[in-house]
């Protein structure tokens, strides 16, 4: 059953440009996939490691800026991608060393500060980053001679990267390392007592998470052929966190659903509602207050709750004891 659903979803994703047709919607699908990669990467930290980063747009942006600058300085796309990911990993290592000085709120505040530094550099270091005007690149890459310029081709390329990301993160989550990562989230003291090096586990998780943020950043650069400080701002980090939290932290499907929700809201709803930021903030507040565990687990809970609400009438007739509905709040 699960395999069938997975196969159907894959088939639907792979053939999407054929049945959607309209290039605008294909582009939105590409955006959803690239943000889903970003959210999945962030979720490794937020969901599995329990470390909430509000500075991940910094890593996303470092990859995009490094790639753009490499391309504009004459590097070919392969070199640019490798350079961008290497720069992201190096930055992620430096950020991790600083941010892992704290956990909980300390970690949040340090990541905010680091994210703001990256933003400040992107915005102010005009001689390199061109400031508010951003950096544009001329072309998308054409691997094996296939141009990624048309929307469907870019979509398929993004889909392949997306599938690699999902597989890698699923393998990580199921691996012993994933289990120990969840252990550092739930029982750090017990994990230390068992002989695990908590700091190292968190550090590696940060690197892994940063790597996928960098991949998403490169895809973003190729999608827009442009990067500006806007993509690095605190708002961008918050949006990514909203994707993770709205979908459901610590699940594989959650960040994907969250990314789809935010991107669709942003692109489709903002055509009708001018006040997109207000809606974004309101969704944020509503999700945290009413559905703290996210939409995927939250809907499951609501469904169970509704079923439990409906069931007593049946069971009263039979006289069996009814299980109390779970109250999540």
Partner 1 sequence: MNLWLILAGNSIAFGGLLFLLSAGFSLIFGLMRIPNLTHGSLFMLGAYFAVSLISWGLGFWPAAILAGLGVAAFGGLVERLLLRRLPGAELAQVLVTLGLSFMIADVCLLGWGGDPISIATPPELRGASRIGGFAFPTYRLGVIIIAVVFAAVLWGLLDKTRLGAMIRAGVDDPAIARVVGIRVSRLFTIVFSLGAGLAGFAGVIGGPILSVYPGLDQDMLPLALVVVILGGSGSLVGSFVGSFVVGFLYNFGQAMFPELAYVVLFLPMLVILVLRPQGLFGRAAP
Which residues in this chain contact partner 1 in the complex, by CB under 8 A? 52, 54, 98, 101-102, 104-106, 108-110, 112-114, 116-117, 119-121, 123-127, 233-235, 238, 241, 245, 275-278, 280-285, 288-289, 292
Closer CB to partner 1, 50 or 152, in the complex: 50
Give the Cα separation of 86 and 83 in Å (integer).
5
The least distance separating partner 1 from the CB of residue 130, rounded to whole angstroms, comes to 12
Q: 153 and 147 in contact (C-beta within 8 Å)?
A: yes
Give the sign of the dihedral formed by CA 116, CA 118, CA 123, CA 127. Answer: positive
Taking CA atoms, 118 is separated from 128, 135, 301, in Å, by 13, 15, 39
Closer CB to partner 1, 90 or 109, in the complex: 109
The least distance separating partner 1 from the CB of residue 150, rounded to whole angstroms, comes to 35
The least distance separating partner 1 from the CB of residue 261, rounded to whole angstroms, comes to 15
Closer CB to partner 1, 267 or 270, in the complex: 270
> Any bridge partners for residue 328, and if so which?
none
Closer CB to partner 1, 52 or 85, in the complex: 52
Beta-carbon contacts of residue 67 (< 8 Å; ≥ 6 apart): 80, 81, 83, 84, 137, 217, 218, 221
The least distance separating partner 1 from the CB of residue 274, rounded to whole angstroms, comes to 9
Structure tokens at 184: 């550092």
Closer CB to partner 1, 12 or 113, in the complex: 113
Give the sign of the dihedral formed by CA 292, CA 296, CA 301, CA 306. Answer: positive
Closer CB to partner 1, 79 or 273, in the complex: 273
Helix (H, G, I), strand (E, B) or coil at 287: helix
DSSP per-residue string spanning 78-107: HHHHHHHHHHHHHHHHHHHHHHTT--THHH
The least distance separating partner 1 from the CB of residue 305, rounded to whole angstroms, comes to 19
The least distance separating partner 1 from the CB of residue 283, rounded to whole angstroms, comes to 8
């Amino acid at each position: 059953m699960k395999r069938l659903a997975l196969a159907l979803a894959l088939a639907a994703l792979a053939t999407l440009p054929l049945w959607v047709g309209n290039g605008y919607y294909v582009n939105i699908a590409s955006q959803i996939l690239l943000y889903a990669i970003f959210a999945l990467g962030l979720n490794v930290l937020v969901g599995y490691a329990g470390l909430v980063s509000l500075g991940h747009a910094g890593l996303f942006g470092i990859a995009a800026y490094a790639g753009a600058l490499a391309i504009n300085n004459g590097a070919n796309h392969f070199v640019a991608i490798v350079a961008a990911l290497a720069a992201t990993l190096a930055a992620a290592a430096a950020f991790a060393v600083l941010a892992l000085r704290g956990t909980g709120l300390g970690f949040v505040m340090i990541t905010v500060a680091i994210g703001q530094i990256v933003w400040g550099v992107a915005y102010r270091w005009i001689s390199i980053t061109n400031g508010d005007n951003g950096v544009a690149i001329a072309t998308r890459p054409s691997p094996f001679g296939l141009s990624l310029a048309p929307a469907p081709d870019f979509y398929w390329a993004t889909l392949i990267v997306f599938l690699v990301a999902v597989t890698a993160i699923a393998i990580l989550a199921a691996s012993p390392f994933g289990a120990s990562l969840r252990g550092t989230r739930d029982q750090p003291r017990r994990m230390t007592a068992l002989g695990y090096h908590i700091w190292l586990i968190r550090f590696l998780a940060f690197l892994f998470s940063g790597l996928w943020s960098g991949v998403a950043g490169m895809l973003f650069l190729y999608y827009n052929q442009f990067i500006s400080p806007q993509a690095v701002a605190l708002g961008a980090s918050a949006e990514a966190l909203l994707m993770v939290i709205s979908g459901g932290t610590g699940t594989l499907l959650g960040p994907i659903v969250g990314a789809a929700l935010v991107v669709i809201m942003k692109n489709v709803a903002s055509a009708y509602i001018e006040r997109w930021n207000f809606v974004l903030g309101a969704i944020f507040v509503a999700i945290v207050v009413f559905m703290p565990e996210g939409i995927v687990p939250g809907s499951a809970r609501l469904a169970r709750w509704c079923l439990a609400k409906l069931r007593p009438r049946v069971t009263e007739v039979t006289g069996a004891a009814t299980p109390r509905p779970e109250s999540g709040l």
